[in-house]
Amino acid sequence: MNWVEPGLYHYLVIAALLFCLGLLAVLSRRNGIAVLMGIELILNAANINFVAFSYYVTHELGGHVFVVFVILLAAIEAAVALAIVFAIYRHFHSVEVPNVNVMKG
């Protein structure tokens, strides 16, 4: 395999790394905003996969179209999630996820 020319495998490895980093951020970060950033990383890992597969494997535009929708939905999700984080800040005076724990059991 030619390791210098960028090819499908490079993109897949980057996407997989990005996915792992995103998952790590979601699982380890205490700050609510950082958790949301982790979610964005996971979504973008999927985006890279879609574009790479679409360019190298299927040679059509379907994957690109998928990515446009994903970006749109990521923005919507971020808007909703940030609104909820604001509401959390009003009640708990903190955006640290472990502090938001009135309900247990």
Partner 1 sequence: MTPEIIHQIKISIPYFVPELMLSATFILVLIGEVLTKRSTYTGFGIITAGGLIATLFLSVQMYKLPETSIFFRMMVVDQFAIFFKIIFAISAVLIVLFSMGSRELRKYSAGEYYCLLLAVVLGMNLLASSTNLLMIWLALELVSIPSYLLSGFLKDDKLSVEASLKFVIYGSVSTAIMLFGLSYLYGMTGAYEINDLRAAISTTHMNSVVLLMTVSLILVGVGYKIAAVPFHFWLPDVFQGSPTAITAFFSYGPKAAGFAFLIRFFYGVFAQGGPDYHVVGTFHWPTLMAMIAAITMTVGNVVAIWQTSMKRMLAYSSIAHVGYMMMGFVLLQQQGIQAILFYLMVYMVMNLGAFLVVIALSSHMDSDNLSQYRGLGSRSPFAAAILAMFMLSLTGIPPFAGFIGKFYLFAAAIHAKFYWLVIVAVLNSVVSFVYYGGVVRRMYLEEGSREAIPVPVLSRALMIVLAVAVLVMGLYWSPFADYSQRSAGILFENISLAFR
CA-to-CA separations, 93 to 6, 52, 89, 90, in angstroms, rounded: 47, 43, 5, 6
Q: Is 37 in the site for partner 1 (CB under 8 A)?
A: no
Residue 34: alpha-carbon gap to chain centroid: 11
CA–CA separation, 13 vs 5, rounded Å? 14
User: Is residue 39 within the footprint of partner 1 (CB under 8 A)?
Assistant: yes
* Interface positions with partner 1 (CB under 8 A): 15, 19, 22-23, 26, 32, 35-36, 38-39, 42-43, 45-47, 49-50, 52-53, 57-58, 62-63, 65-66, 69-70, 73, 76-77, 80-81, 83-85, 87-88, 90-92, 97, 100-103, 105
